[in-house]
Structure 1
Amino acid sequence: MLTERLRRWATVAVAGAIVLSVTAAARSAVPGTPAAPRLPALRAGTLHERYEANHRFITESRQAALRMGDTARGDALAGFAAPGRQFLSFSPDGDGLAVEVLGDLAEADRIAVVVPGSDTTIDTFDELGTKSASLNGGARALYAEMRRTAPHTRVAVVAWLGYHAPRTMSRDVASTARAAVGGDELRAFLGRLRSVNATAPVALLCHSYGSVVCGSAVRGTGRAMQAELSGIAVVGSPGMGVRSAAELRTAVPLWAARGASDWITDVPHVEVSVLGHTFGFGTDPVAPSFGARGFAAGPGGHSDYFRPGGVALHNLALIGLGRGGQVSHG
Structure 2
Amino acid sequence: MGVGAGQDRRVRRRRGDADGRGRGGCRLSLRRAVRALLAVLLTAAVAVPLTAAARPAVPAPPPAEIPPVTATTLERAYAANRANAELASRMAAAHGDAHRATADRALAAPSRGLLTFDGRGAGRVTEVLGDLAHADRVAVLVPGSDTSLDTYERFRTDAASLYRRVDGQAPAGGSGAVVAWLGYTTPGTVSATAVTTDRADGAAPALREFLHGLRALTGRPDARITVLCHSYGSVVCGRAAAGLDVDDLVLLGSPGTGADSVTDLRTRARVWAARGGDDWVAEVPHVGVDLFGTTVGFGADPVSASFGARVFTAGDAGHSDYYRPGSVSLTNLSRIVLGETGEVTRA
TM-score of the aligned structures, taking structure 1 as reference length = 0.90
Separation in structure 2 between the aligned mates of residue 240 and residue 70 of structure 1, nearest angstrom? 36
- 1:286 equivalent in alignment to 2:303: yes
Q: Which residue of 1 aligns with 2:21?
A: none
Q: Structure 2 unaligned runs (5+)?
A: 1-31
Q: Which residue of 2 aligns with 1:177?
A: 198
* 1:200-215 correspondence runs (5 A): 200-215=223-238
Provide closer, same or farther for how the CA distance between residues 64 and 110 of structure 1 changes in structure 2, counting only shifts above 3 A: same
Separation in structure 2 between the aligned mates of residue 166 and residue 42 of structure 1, nearest angstrom? 29
- 1:118 equivalent in alignment to 2:148: no
CA deviation vs aligned residue, 1:33-88 (integer Å, no higher than 9, x gap): 33432111021122111100001000000000000000110121222122211101
Instruction: Select the structure of larger CA radius of gyration.
Output: 2
Q: Which residue of 2 aligns with 1:102?
A: 129
Q: Aligned to 1:77, which of 96, 99, 104? A: 104
Separation in structure 2 between the aligned mates of residue 35 and residue 114 of structure 1, nearest angstrom? 24
Separation in structure 2 between the aligned mates of residue 301 and residue 187 of structure 1, nearest angstrom? 29
Deviation, 1:18, is 4.2
- 1:27 equivalent in alignment to 2:44: no
Deviates more, 1:184-193 or 1:8-17: 8-17
CA deviation vs aligned residue, 1:170-227 (integer Å, no higher than 9, x gap): 10111101111111111000112133133312101111011111111112x2xxx43x
Q: Which residue of 2 aligns with 1:57?
A: 84
- Give the letter for the 1:40 counterpart: P
Q: Which residue of 1 aligns with 2:344?
A: 327
Deviation, 1:251, is 3.0
CA deviation vs aligned residue, 1:251-271 (integer Å, no higher than 9, x gap): 321110000000000000001
- 1:145 equivalent in alignment to 2:181: no
Separation in structure 1 between the aligned mates of residue 118 and residue 267 of structure 2, nearest angstrom? 32
Separation in structure 2 between the aligned mates of residue 93 and residue 277 of structure 1, nearest angstrom? 28
Separation in structure 1 between the aligned mates of residue 50 and residue 169 of structure 2, nearest angstrom? 42
Higher relative contact order (CA 8 A, sep 6+): 1
Deviation, 1:104, is 1.0
Q: Aligned to 1:9, which of 41, 44, 52? A: 41
1:303 aligns to what SS in structure 2? coil
- 1:168 equivalent in alignment to 2:201: no
Separation in structure 2 between the aligned mates of residue 244 and residue 190 of structure 1, nearest angstrom? 22
Q: Structure 1 unaligned runs (5+)?
A: 127-133
Q: Contact 2:197–2:298 at 8 Å: present in 1 too?
A: yes
Separation in structure 2 between the aligned mates of residue 40 and residue 111 of structure 1, nearest angstrom? 23
Q: Which residue of 2 aligns with 1:307?
A: 324
Deviation, 1:250, is 2.3
Greater share of helix? 2
Separation in structure 1 between the aligned mates of residue 168 and residue 344 of structure 2, nearest angstrom? 15
Separation in structure 2 between the aligned mates of residue 277 and residue 169 of structure 1, nearest angstrom? 17
TM-score of the aligned structures, taking structure 2 as reference length = 0.85
Aligned pair count? 311
Q: Contact 1:111–1:320 at 8 Å: present in 2 too?
A: yes
Q: Contact 1:103–1:157 at 8 Å: present in 2 too?
A: yes
